[in-house]
Amino acid sequence: MEVKKIEKSGDKWRVVLELRIPGHRLLEILDEFERRFRDYSFRADGRNITVEASFRILEPWEDEPVEDVAESIALELLSFISGGPRGEI
């Protein structure tokens, strides 16, 4: 997972991540992401899934820098793919 962009507009943040998916599971993972993580938007391009999240830093991450929030989003998605504690794929 790579953080491609972090932008601030007023009191909102926009984070764009890129996740590289090896093999043939891209569409399966994309479908699962769209069902499970409705607060983010996803699109597939080749072997990558681009993830876009917009949020206000006011809550629930008041004490975290935006870079930490982006990392938390990435870890949540990777954990889901790898079948971590909340993962299903």
Quick: pLDDT tens for 23-35.
778 888 999 999 9
**Residue type for position 38:** R
Q: How many C-beta atoms lie closer than 10 Å to residue 73's C-beta?
A: 20
Output the pTM of the full model. 0.78
Q: How far apart are CA 82 and CA 28, in angstroms?
A: 13
pLDDT at site 38: 92
Q: Are 55 and 11 in contact (CB under 8 A)?
A: no
86 φ, ψ (degrees, to nearest 5): -110, 0
More confident residue, 79 or 58: 79
